[in-house]
Chains A and B, each alone.
Chain A
Amino acid sequence: MSAWRRLHVKVRRAHGLFTSRRVTEQYTWMYGPSTLGQNLSTGKPLRNDFFKELEAQLAAMRKKAADALPGSSWSPFDINPNLPPERADIVIIGGGVMGWSIAYWLKQKERVREGVKVIVVERDLTYSQASTVLSAGGIRQQFSLPENIHLSLASADFMRNINEHLGVLNEDPVDLQFNQSGYLFLASEEVAHIMEENYSTQRQVGAKVTLLSPTQLKEKFPWINTDGVALASYGLENEGWFDPWSLLNAFRRKAMSMGVIQCCGEVTDFKYTVSMMTSPGGDPVVYKRINSVKVQMPKGLEYQMVECAIVVNAAGAFSGKLAEMLGISSNPKDTIAGTPVPVEPRKRYIYVVHCPDGPGLDTPFLIDYSGMYFRREGLGGNYITGASPKEADEPDTSNLEVDHQFFEDSVWPRLAYRVPAFEKLKVTSAWAGFYDYNTFDQNGIIGDHPVINNMYFATGFSGHGLQQSPAAGRAVAELILDGNFKTLDMRGLGFRRIMAQEPILERNIL
């Protein structure tokens, strides 16, 4: 489908072809004068668009006719129109960027129209607690695990051509505000060798990263205080930050235009069948198969049992709790069936500070070896900053209240040390969000569960889920529809490592 889009764009862009002039003129009179080719203006069109309003006008006409005719629209079957349908092929639990990415890729790969019926269940459509929209929105390829680098690289490529993938006909184009300013990792003496090893891995996989010595660093970014820095790693391309809300909405809009049904509700229960089998070695194996998902309406007692073939757990920070509903904890801890899904929410704070004398517009997303990070936000001298707390003082996850003392104690000193200009700053706002923290090895879990036959997981990304969502969604869709990974091999991120207790640790996680 993207090849067709590319061709379409080429036709529109080419001169001398039979449609070129008329098409560009058509767009110029509506959107104002613009360059040839794709129009990226996100402002409202200058004149009325006939086809966009056609749908709305037809619906208004139908409603008018129905009101004029005698009779009522009561039907004995529509108890609550917000209830999900009684059956679906694939139920995706969690309407964050990961869930909608999977929904989009499933529809993209289905080969015929309406090949699979997909429902996305999200309990809070304002996304007030969702990790996606509360994220700092960074994307980087500077990981130590090749799988992570592949995922981020593929996702960056996806986001650079976002309108080819997620553009909907006759709707505004997607604008992610992808600032490709790069990430800057600073390493102290002790960890410089790890950074070098990571650098060679990254270059091998194809990330465009470079190493900087302290002098080069000072030359490039004069506002940095290079005391204690032995080596720095700077991303030159495909790294930076973008607007997570735009990505989420783009995925959602495109997926819904392809026929994915969105349901606002909470999954409170599963109905599953249990089959007790014996492995060839003689040990009893208990397989579970989910038959239907109980979706409860928000603020009410109504529920609908959605009969489904496949369930995808993309519930983010709450995935562990969701998997518990399948009775995993009732089995002994050391068996395969009893191993819990090791994802739990961890609260992280982000503070918005205003510093008019701060570093300039080319500030990368700086990550210090002490755990502090900051990046530029907008063009008005605002910056976003935060730090990872130590394991021992993890904040309480029952709410999303911000601890400002944490900023005073842990973030500001490190920030001011690294960037002297930040000694004079003002905290304008702050928020907190959850990481879907994988307590096992802080890397994503992509794949099917060994014991629950038809549940797939795309969770536990521990802070780098948003940036990997397009590629991870594609991986899960390939797993479901093709049976195996086709473009990127993500077997290393499957459940097997958790069962075998072999963690694959990142060496520079934030």
Chain B
Amino acid sequence: MLKILIPTLLLIPTSWLAKAKWLWPTTLLHSFIITLFSLAWLKNTTETNWSTLNPYMATDPLSSPLLTLTCCLLPLMILASQNHLAQDPLVRQRIYITLLVTLQLSLIMAFAATELTMFYVMFETSLIPTLILITRWGNQMERLNAGTYFLFYTLASSLPLLITLLAFQNKTGTLSLLIIQLLGPIPISPYVNIIWWTTSLLAFLVKMPLYGVHLWLPKAHVEAPIAGSMILAAVLLKLGGYGMMRLMLILSPLAKELCYPFIILALWGVLMTSSICLGQTDLKSLIAYSSVSHMGLVAAAILIQTPWGLTGALILMIAHGLTSSALFCLANTNYERTHTRTMILTRGSQMILPLMATWWLITCLANLALPPLPNLMGELIIISALLGWSWWTIIFTGAGALITATYSLYMYLMTQRGPVPNHMISMNPSHSREHLLLTLHLLPLLLLVFKPTTIWGSAY
């Protein structure tokens, strides 16, 4: 664990001491090396599932794919931000990289935490660099509104979580995940247990996001700069899912009745947000709502607490993380050339940038859950698990899958096909950096087709 944390921590002095010419290549290279080392976490050697143990941090098959995803994302964020930060002064570039690294650190420690207290502290800590990224480097005036929504939705919902954790520590004497998993049902008085259940999970449901409390997400994703959008879509949403999976261990007998309204909300959200995607004019907004839609499926799957549900949730989280981040990178390549996110003004790019159209196609196909990609595997397992829970969910999930396919194809056809507007005829050709960025997103996705057991998690 330390062999990842200390290099990541030392990336901060690297970004401050590197010479201007070597700032970006150096940080990129070193974060790549850290990613390569983090792949070692994926091999699970113990029977108890917990490996690389130290008193405060450990990895298990649930957290290791998320940890690797987090470490994988840092070089990709640095790669994506290189162009639009080129005209900023040097100090501001260094601060940007420092923020990304701080975010990375807090996320690694959050996923690797064994104590729920540390998880909570790191969960809150990850908000600060993200907020600074959105409000300082975002593009429009609305970013202040977006930052406020983002911050206060999460803060307001996570304060009850803090109280719940403290009460739990008081009652059972421990908050260590290793011990919690062995505890039996906790005796709590009959009406307080509903509050207990809700407050434990509210923070994560807001983070997921669940349909009714999802309002912060389209704002934050659209107004954030590219690195902010990438990390938000790929990892921060999964913090919510991960937290839910961990905390539901302690809530077990209550979950059977109390999860009902939230599952319905999540499934309804899948349908609603997919439909909203069909009428979006702003490309980033479309991708943000598609994130809400996929995460609705994940939320529903975690809430039913079956082994297949948890497996499917984890697979979909990883696959969606890579796909959504890739989509944001593609939207950014479009934005850097035409300075507009409106889809109606940036059409027909297949004629102008054909190789980028290939990446668009693969990513849109991944988004609509094309076999044999892990997106489909995750969705299929989740749909089957939900079907086992109740036959009626097939209406929501089936219609949701249909509309997902529709808007993914719509996004592809709108941006790539169609008449080429006159103002796009001479655009800058694709940089090899952009091709590298997208390859590094899609290659892990394709590799996961061959060994999905790496991201199956501990429930299988």
Which stretch from B60-68, B74-82, B183-191, B337-345 is at the chain A interface? B337-345
Question: Which residues of B sit under 8 angstroms from A90, Cβ to Cβ?
Answer: 345
- What residue of chain A has the Cβ atom nearest to residue B343's Cβ? A115
Kindly name the residue among B340, B348, B419 whose own CB sees the greatest number of chain A CB atoms within 10 A: B340
B426 part of interface (Cβ distance < 8 Å): yes
Question: Which residues of B sit under 8 angstroms from A292, Cβ to Cβ?
Answer: 339
Task: State whether A116 and B339 are in contact (beta carbons under 8 Å apart), knowing that A86-B140, A448-B422, A479-B422 are contacts in the complex.
Answer: no
Interface residues of chain B: helix, strand, loop or mixed (majority): loop
A275 part of interface (Cβ distance < 8 Å): yes
A277 engages B423 (CB within 8 Å): no
* Cβ-neighbour of B141 out of A86, A114, A453 (below 8 A): A86
B139 part of interface (Cβ distance < 8 Å): yes
Question: Which residues of A sit under 8 angstroms from B339, Cβ to Cβ?
Answer: 87, 291-292, 307-309
Which stretch from A236-244, A391-399, A481-489 is at the chain B interface? A481-489
Question: Which residues of A sit under 8 angstroms from B279, Cβ to Cβ?
Answer: 112
A86 engages B139 (CB within 8 Å): yes
B347 engages A483 (CB within 8 Å): yes
For the complex, what is the distance from the CA of A22 to the CA of B342, rounded to whole Å? 43
B421 part of interface (Cβ distance < 8 Å): yes
Question: Which residues of A sit under 8 angstroms from B345, Cβ to Cβ?
Answer: 89-90, 116, 309-310, 480-481
B144 part of interface (Cβ distance < 8 Å): yes
For the complex, what is the distance from the CA of A310 to the CA of B419, rounded to whole Å? 17
* Cβ-neighbour of A453 out of B340, B346, B423 (below 8 A): B423
A114 engages B281 (CB within 8 Å): yes
Question: Which residues of A sit under 8 angstroms from B426, Cβ to Cβ?
Answer: 275, 277, 287, 289, 453
- Within residues 318 to 358 of chain B, which ones have a CB less than 8 A from any CB in chain A? 338-340, 342, 344-348
For the complex, what is the distance from the CA of A398 to the CA of B141, rounded to whole Å? 40
Contact indicator per residue, chain A 112-133, by CB within 8 Å of chain B (1) or not (0)? 1011110000000000000000
Question: Which residues of B sit under 8 angstroms from A277, Cβ to Cβ?
Answer: 426
The contact size tier of chain B is: 20 to 34
A111 engages B425 (CB within 8 Å): no
Question: Which residues of A sit under 8 angstroms from B144, Cβ to Cβ?
Answer: 77
A249 part of interface (Cβ distance < 8 Å): no
A327 part of interface (Cβ distance < 8 Å): no
- What residue of chain A has the Cβ atom nearest to residue B338's Cβ? A309
B420 part of interface (Cβ distance < 8 Å): yes
For the complex, what is the distance from the CA of A414 to the CA of B420, rounded to whole Å? 53
A85 part of interface (Cβ distance < 8 Å): yes
Question: Which residues of A sit under 8 angstroms from B420, Cβ to Cβ?
Answer: 483
For the complex, what is the distance from the CA of A286 to the CA of B361, rounded to whole Å? 32
Kindly name the residue among B344, B418, B425 whose own CB sees the greatest number of chain A CB atoms within 10 A: B344
- What residue of chain B has the Cβ atom nearest to residue A308's Cβ? B339
B141 engages A309 (CB within 8 Å): no
Question: Which residues of A sit under 8 angstroms from B453, Cβ to Cβ?
Answer: none
B83 part of interface (Cβ distance < 8 Å): no
B340 engages A89 (CB within 8 Å): yes
A388 part of interface (Cβ distance < 8 Å): no
Question: Which residues of A sit under 8 angstroms from B425, Cβ to Cβ?
Answer: 453
For the complex, what is the distance from the CA of A453 to the CA of B338, rounded to whole Å? 11
Measured between C-beta atoms, what is the minimum distance from B246 to chain A in Å?
40
- What residue of chain B has the Cβ atom nearest to residue A111's Cβ? B344
Measured between C-beta atoms, what is the minimum distance from A265 to chain B in Å?
17
Contact indicator per residue, chain B 397-436, by CB within 8 Å of chain A (1) or not (0)? 0000000000000000000001111111110100000000
For the complex, what is the distance from the CA of A77 to the CA of B345, rounded to whole Å? 29
B281 engages A85 (CB within 8 Å): no
Measured between C-beta atoms, what is the minimum distance from B125 to chain A in Å?
26
* Cβ-neighbour of A309 out of B281, B340, B347, B348 (below 8 A): B340
For the complex, what is the distance from the CA of A77 to the CA of B424, rounded to whole Å? 34
Question: Which residues of A sit under 8 angstroms from B140, Cβ to Cβ?
Answer: 85-87
A480 engages B281 (CB within 8 Å): no
A115 engages B344 (CB within 8 Å): yes
For the complex, what is the distance from the CA of A481 to the CA of B120, rounded to whole Å? 49
- What residue of chain B has the Cβ atom nearest to residue A112's Cβ? B281
Task: State whether A481 and B422 are in contact (beta carbons under 8 Å apart), knowing that A87-B339, A112-B279, A275-B428 are contacts in the complex.
Answer: no
Question: Which residues of B sit under 8 angstroms from A85, Cβ to Cβ?
Answer: 140-141
Measured between C-beta atoms, what is the minimum distance from A444 to chain B in Å?
17
- Within residues 452 to 510 of chain A, which ones have a CB less than 8 A from any CB in chain B? 453-454, 456, 479-484
For the complex, what is the distance from the CA of A156 to the CA of B422, rounded to whole Å? 29
Kindly name the residue among B338, B422, B426 whose own CB sees the greatest number of chain A CB atoms within 10 A: B422
* Cβ-neighbour of A77 out of B141, B281, B338 (below 8 A): B141
For the complex, what is the distance from the CA of A117 to the CA of B139, rounded to whole Å? 15
- What residue of chain B has the Cβ atom nearest to residue A90's Cβ? B345
A483 engages B141 (CB within 8 Å): no
For the complex, what is the distance from the CA of A86 to the CA of B223, rounded to whole Å? 13
Beyond the given A115-B342, A453-B422, A483-B419, could you list 9 further A-B residue pairs with CB under 8 A, ordered by the A residue number? A86-B139, A87-B140, A110-B281, A112-B279, A116-B344, A292-B339, A448-B423, A453-B425, A483-B348
A-B interface, 9 closest residue pairs, ranked by CB to CB distance from nearest: A483-B419, A309-B340, A454-B423, A448-B422, A115-B281, A287-B426, A89-B340, A483-B421, A309-B339
Binding site for B on A (CB under 8 A): 77, 85-87, 89-90, 110-112, 114-117, 275, 277, 287, 289, 291-292, 307-310, 447-448, 453-454, 456, 479-484
Return 23 A-B CB contacts under 8 Å, by A number.
A85-B141, A86-B141, A110-B344, A111-B344, A112-B279, A112-B280, A115-B342, A116-B281, A277-B426, A289-B426, A309-B338, A309-B339, A309-B340, A310-B345, A447-B422, A448-B422, A453-B422, A453-B426, A456-B423, A480-B421, A483-B418, A483-B419, A483-B421
Binding site for A on B (CB under 8 A): 139-141, 144, 279-281, 338-340, 342, 344-348, 418-426, 428
